Amino acid sequence: MTSTLFAGIGELCTCEPTLGDGSALGLVHDAAFVAKDGRVAWVGRVSDAPATDARVDLGGRAVVPGFVDSHTHLVFAGERSAEFAARMAGEPYTGGGIMSTVAATRAATTDELRANARRLLAEMHASGTTTVEIKSGYGLDVGTERRILEIASELTSETTFLGAHVVPAEYADDRGAYVALVTGEMLAACAPFARWIDVFCETGAFNEAESRAVLRAGIAAGLMPRVHGNQLGPGPGARLAAEFGAASVDHCTYLSAEDVVALRDAGVVATLLPAAEFSTRSPYADARALINAGVTVALATDCNPGSAYVTSMPLVIALAVREYRLTPAEALLAATRGGAAALRRDDIGRLAPGFSADFAVLEAPTYVQLAYRPGSALVAQAWRCGERLTV
C-alpha cells in the first residue's frame, strides 16, 4: 500500500505525551508524519522522515488530531429559531420544544432526513471533526426511531438509541406504557443499528426508576450505556452512569461533590457541552472541579435544533477556554482524546503510531488560535484515514 509523508508542519499536536516535547499535547515542531493504510506509521521531525511513496507539504501550518464529537443529535427535520428568539427574550429552556422537532421528523421522508444530516455532517467535516456520534430521539415511535438510526448508521459507527429522550404527547397519561415500548418493541427494532443506549435522566424527561429500566434493557440487548444527566438541575444521572459503568455522562452542568467522586471512581467520562449552556443561557459546568478531581473530560457540540444548533468543535473549544477556564491545551485534549475516551475508542483522538490518520490542518501557526480566534474558519483541511474529507 501507498505511504504518504505529511511534511511542512510548523506545529504538530500529537495529543500523545510520550511524543515530542513531553507535554500533555506531545508537541513536535518542524514536524512530519507518515500515513500508511489509513493509520499513522511514523511521527517526528521532518529532518528525520523516512522515505515514502508520496509527499504532501502543509506549508508550515499547525496540525491537530481530528476532533471527536461524541454527542450529537444529527438526524432531525425542521429548525427552532423562533424558540431560540423567545428564549433570548427571557423565556426559560425546559426541553419542551423537543416535541415540535419530533412532529417535523415524523413527517419528513427518509431522503429529507438523510439530506439534512449529511448537510450538517459536511459542516462538521469542514470544521475539523473526523468522528461523530449520532443519537436517535426525535422519532419516539418505533418506525421513526428505526429510520433515524438506519440513517445514522450510514454516517457513523457511533450510533446511539435515545428513544428515552422525552415521553411523547400521546403517552403523557401513561408513561409506563412508553417506557415499556422503549425497552421492548422499539429497542428490538433499533438495537441492530445502534452501539449505545442512552436516556435523558432529568426532571421533565425520565426519572431514576425509568432511567434504570431503559439502561438495563439496552444493556441486555447488547448496547453499551451512556447517560444525559444533570443538565437542568441536580439529579441522579451522574450517579446512575457510575453505577451502570457508562462510558460517559453528558452535560454535567449541575454535579454535587459526591457525583464527581462517583464519576472518578467508576472511570466515567464527563462530557461537557458548553454550546448548549451558551445557547440556552444556562450556567456553565464546573469543568475545573472535574479535572482537579481526576475525571476525564470530553467536549462535544450536542448539535441539535433546540438547545445547541452548533456543528463547530473550534467554537466549543473557544467556549470551554473562555467559560470553563480550561487552558487551550486542556480544551484541545478534551475535544480529541477526551471524545475518544467517551466513545471507548483507542484508535482515534491522537496522532501517534497505530492511530487512525485523522487530522485537521489549521490556517494558523498554532493550535492556540482555535480559542484565540473564535468565529474564524481556521480549519483549512480535514483528513480521515489518510484521505482528504474537505476541499
Q: How far is the CB of 129 from Zn ion (least distance, A)?
A: 16
Binding mask 282-311 for Zn ion (x = CB under 5 A): --------------------x---------
Choice between 76 and 178, CB closer to Zn ion: 76
Least separation in angstroms between residue 228's CB and Zn ion is: 5
Residue type, 72: T
Report the distance separating Cα 53 and Cα 56, nearest Å.
11
Pattern 35-74, binding to Zn ion, x per CB under 5 A? ----------------------------------------
Q: Are 64 and 14 in contact (CB under 8 A)?
A: no
Choose between 69 and 210: whose C-beta lies nearer to Zn ion: 69
Closest contact distance (angstroms) between CB of 275 and Zn ion is 11
* C-beta of 277 vs 302, nearer to Zn ion: 302
DSSP 8-state symbol, 285: P
Q: Minimum distance between the CB of residue 45 and Zn ion, rounded to whole angstroms?
A: 42
Q: How far is CA 106 from the centre of its chain?
A: 24
Task: List the grid coordinates of 69.
Answer: 464529537
Nearer to Zn ion, 26 or 235 (CB): 235
Smallest distance, Zn ion to C-beta of residue 147, A: 19
In whole angstroms, how close is the CB of 162 to Zn ion at the nearest point?
A: 8
Angstrom distance (rounded) from CA 141 to CA 154: 20
How many angstroms separate the first and last alpha carbons of the chain? 24
- 114-116-121-124 Cα dihedral, nearest 10 degrees: -170
Distance between CA atoms of 68 and 262, rounded to whole angstroms? Answer: 25
Q: How many whole angstroms separate alpha carbon 269 and alpha carbon 241? A: 10
CA 145 distance to own-chain centroid: 20
Number of residues that bind Zn ion (CB under 5 A): 1
- Cα pseudo-dihedral 225, 268, 271, 256, rounded to 10: 110
Q: Under the rule (CB under 5 A), what is the footprint of Zn ion? A: 302
